[in-house]
Amino acid sequence: MIYGSVCSGIEAATVAWHPLGWKPAFFSEIESFPRAVLAHHYPETPLHGDFTTIGADQYGPIDLLVGGTPCQSFSIAGLRGGLDDERGNLALEFLRLAQRTRAKWLVWENVPGVLSSNGGRDFGAILGGMVELGYGFAYRVLDAQFFGVPQRRRRVFVVGHLGSWQRAAAVLFERHSLSGHSAPRREAGQGVAGTLESRASGGGGGPGAGTDGAAAGYLQPVDWPADIAPTLNAAFGSKLGLEDQHIRGGGGLFVPAASGDVPDTRFDATHGRRDGDIDPYSRRRVR
């Protein structure tokens, strides 16, 4: 399998595909540090800057074109310019390069925010462009935490194949699920990240914490989305996190661990405590 890679970074695709015997025809990357890494590890592979300059007859036929074009204009953390943004428009330039190279297969990756960008019309335009070029396609959101990576990292993967969506789907989905048999359910890890200090086992916690990292009076995350670390200074709702989250102040989703019954008294939403609780830092009773 001969492939071309654009927006290559330090070339994760080649790390994955080299054991399969697949060969790169070219890379494309504009940032200086990744370019230096690529030149060091793959000196025999042509390295481009701007992939839009790659011509139709510059290389022989390739079997696959892969790339994760810039995500900033699609991400919910950005201004969401979509395809009107120069960076977002590179998704369409990726399709134009596919048209020039006539690769049999396409693999395109981006953030899940692309699904809702411009009310879904941007993603529809990208898929529609594949269809106009003769590619059948399948797409799926995959999360790195289910593939051996200790990180929650969701990404949209689109696989295209010249002439047939069934072959694209066979690559992207488990074959037994395409036959009407659901794949075995993958389970996310149940552990919770440590709270205040690192421990060799059992997560974090403070003095007196048990093996589960919990100790009376120390902040423990409860309910969704507190099963993951909040994003600093991220607005709750459109982004996973708490507004101006501070480790000493906590927030509505972080409450002191308590044993026994908690009196039904006034709740202080700012600090996540109730009257009568012990402040874990001052060791004084909240009034």
Residues annotated as part of the active site: 71
Q: How far is CA 218 from the centre of its chain?
A: 30
Q: In Å, what is the CA distance from 197 to each residue of 209, 240, 254?
A: 10, 23, 16
Backbone torsion region of residue 168, taken as left when φ is above 0, otherwise alpha when ψ lies between -120 and 50, otherwise beta:
alpha
Element (DSSP H or E) covering residue 135: strand 135-143
Dist. CA 51–CA 92, nearest whole Å: 12
Nearest to residue 194, comparing CAs of 177, 179, 175, 214? 214
Nearest to residue 111, comparing CAs of 150, 149, 152, 148? 152
Q: Identity (one letter) of the amino acid at 133?
A: L
Dist. CA 88–CA 57, nearest whole Å: 26
The CA-CA-CA angle for residues 87, 89, 90, to 5°, reads: 70
Dist. CA 98–CA 106, nearest whole Å: 8
Nearest to residue 89, comparing CAs of 126, 127, 133? 126
Nearest to residue 219, comparing CAs of 201, 184, 245, 239? 245
105-110 and 154-162 strand pairing: antiparallel
